[in-house]
Structure 1
């Protein structure tokens, strides 16, 4: 991967490892962001569904109470 290394060194250099680690961190950050966005979207859908259900309950005719 590294063009400036010696021919004897067949492994990864420190720069190569740092680049790979940075890519892994960026991928992890993107997955974390997607998880937060999905959770926010799910929460807003739950709240809107709850509002619709509570709105339906309030549309029901209220029974008149008779005084005894």
Structure 2
């Protein structure tokens, strides 16, 4: 499962494993999508333009459920 938290900068994309035990987060880079960009159409355009840009997202952080 993959879900975007928000369409605006300083947001993240998250993935939850099928078994629900692992959550991964990646932040959207403000170098690619500037913080000043507040128009959703402009953000969508920048996301499409940079879809293959390796700098679009930050490092992936993974959390695991503990019992």
| Range of TM-score over shorter length | under 0.3
TM-score by length of 2: 0.22
Greater helix content: 1
TM-score of the superposition, structure 1-length normalised? Answer: 0.22
Greater RCO (CA < 8 Å, at least 6 residues apart): 2
Structure of larger gyration radius: 1
More strand by percentage? 2
